Amino acid sequence: MIIDLRSDTVTKPTKGMLDAMMTAKVGDDVYKEDPTVNALEARIADMFGMEKALFFPTGTMANQTALKLHTNPGDQVICDSNSHIYHYEGGGASFNCGISCKLLQGSGGMFTAKQVEEAINPPDFYHSPLTSLVEIENTANRGGGSCWDFNEIKKIRKVCDTHSLGLHLDGARLWNALIAKNESPKDYGQVFDSISVCLSKGLGCPVGSVLVGNEAVMQKAIRIRKILGGGMRQVGYLAAAGLYALDNNLERLASDHKKAKEIESVLSKLAIVKHVQTVETNIIIFELQQQAHEAQFLKALDDNNIKLIGMGNGKLRIVTHLDYTNAMHDKFLDVLSHL
């Protein structure tokens, strides 16, 4: 039994999901003729109370498309210094969109409306890049799966309105935030211009992300997706997994969160652990007393078939997910407490 806690992307489709995939009705999605993709897009648009949704192979491509929709080359996006679009999209903001990132030093991957206000370049000061977009990540991955305060998001929306800026949400793990905080996707649909959500993280699909927004913003999304190489054909097989996941794997995220809390509690009592970031969802980020002990610590776990990941700077990450069973949880806690 291998206990893989590196990421919530390691899950494999369950029998129920595979059955849904195998029996999906499909068509050529580039002609918008795949009924299952169309159904998934309609369902997600409806969940968020927005006009249009588009299926993507990856969250990175959905985010990159959003960046492109909201900016012109030379522009600047305001985002957290820990954001996925800055750290983990291969420099796509500059490669695909020709834009730069204005990095905010937030807390737990989250920043304030005041910080946004201060980071906006005056539009008539032509020496500086033109600020055109603000990007938020919820939950914040490098922030340790932290959840935003919705009131702060509303304040940021106001700042964006005052300065005519777009507001994009990287909601790869928004599902976790919605469940953890009992929030409604429709509220998010009202404040953001575009939202990307992943099906391949906590929801347990093998592939897929969706970008959602209103017609005016999404008009060119399909063209940009095509340019990025994301126009796919009979992908109803994959969209079917998404529909299945929304029916079956959304509410259960609460159990991933509960397990993560229990891991936090055991970790924070270990002598070798210096600090555990407060756990709100399915991600646990922690530091050892001595960075030099990291390899030894990971090896001791690996000897017990337990895999986790280093994030650099002495930080380690654990992510709970659909394939992390109760039996694995019991074993992991047992191994941890005997380290």
Ligand X SMILES: *Cc1c(COP(=O)(O)O)cnc(C)c1O
Nearer to ligand X, 58 or 146 (CB): 58
Is the bond into 281 cis (omega within 30 degrees of 0)? no
Smallest distance, Å, CB 153 to ligand X?
16
Residue span 209-228 as binding mask against ligand X, x where in contact by CB under 6 A, dash where not: x-------------------
DSSP per residue over 24-58, as a string? -----GGGT--HHHHHHHHHHHHHHT-SEEEEES-
Are the C-beta atoms of residues 171 and 199 closer than 8 Å to each other? no
DSSP E strands in the chain: the ranges are: 3-4, 52-56, 76-80, 100-104, 131-137, 166-171, 194-198, 209-213, 273-276, 283-288, 306-307, 309-312, 315-319
Mark the segment that binds ligand X (CB under 6 A) among 24-32, 53-61, 121-129, 307-315: 53-61
| Residue at token pair 């990175």 | 60
Q: Based on the shown chain and the rule CB under 6 A, indicate whether residue 59 belongs to the binding site for ligand X.
A: yes
Nearer to ligand X, 75 or 135 (CB): 135
Nearer to ligand X, 71 or 141 (CB): 141
Q: Based on the shown chain and the rule CB under 6 A, indicate whether residue 41 belongs to the binding site for ligand X.
A: no
Q: Based on the shown chain and the rule CB under 6 A, indicate whether residue 60 belongs to the binding site for ligand X.
A: yes
User: What are the tokens at 102?
Assistant: 């204005």
Q: Based on the shown chain and the rule CB under 6 A, indicate whether residue 198 belongs to the binding site for ligand X.
A: yes
Q: Using the rule CB under 6 A, which residue among 58, 121, 176, 194 binds ligand X?
A: 58
Q: Using the rule CB under 6 A, which residue among 29, 41, 80, 170 binds ligand X?
A: 170
Nearer to ligand X, 121 or 135 (CB): 135
Closest Cα partner for 18 from 323, 240, 200, 248?
Answer: 240
Q: What is the DSSP letter of 314?
A: T
Residue closest to ligand X (Cβ): 59
d(CA 35, CA 75): 37
Site for ligand X in 122-151 (CB under 6 A): 137, 141
Q: Using the rule CB under 6 A, which residue among 84, 168, 259, 317 binds ligand X?
A: 84
Smallest distance, Å, CB 138 to ligand X?
9
d(CA 184, CA 49): 10
Smallest distance, Å, CB 172 to ligand X?
3
User: How far from 197 is each of 85, 239, 280, 335, CA to CA, in Å?
Assistant: 14, 13, 19, 34
Residues that bind ligand X (CB under 6 A): 58-60, 63, 84, 137, 141, 170, 172, 198, 200-201, 209
